């Protein structure tokens, strides 16, 4: 969904924050309309993640 520049300037931003909660807290301090989603990147690095995906698909 997009927001026109005029609407943005008139009504202010509506933000969905994903991840680091401090960005959400800063927006709220400035009274911006915002929601925060708790999300973290995968703990495993690229190589391990690829191998785990392979395992999930049934190995060799």
List residues binding other proteins (CB under 8 A): 38, 40-44, 48-49, 51-52, 54-56, 58-60
Report, in Å, the least distance between residue 44 CB and other proteins. 4
Query: What's the alpha-carbon Rg for the chain, to the nearest Å?
Result: 19
Residue (7 or 54) nearer to other proteins, CB: 54
E-strand spans in 1-60?
A: 14-18, 33-37
Query: Which of the 8 DSSP states describes residue 18?
Result: E
Q: Which two structure tokens, joined as six digits, stand for 53? A: 């995906």
Report, in Å, the least distance between residue 32 CB and other proteins. 23
Report, in Å, the least distance between residue 52 CB and other proteins. 6
């Amino acid at each position: 969904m997009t927001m026109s520049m005029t609407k943005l300037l008139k009504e202010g931003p509506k933000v969905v924050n994903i991840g680091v909660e401090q960005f959400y807290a800063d927006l709220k301090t400035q009274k911006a309309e915002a929601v925060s989603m708790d999300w973290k990147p995968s703990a495993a690095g690229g190589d391990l993640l690829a191998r785990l995906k392979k395992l999930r698909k049934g190995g060799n």
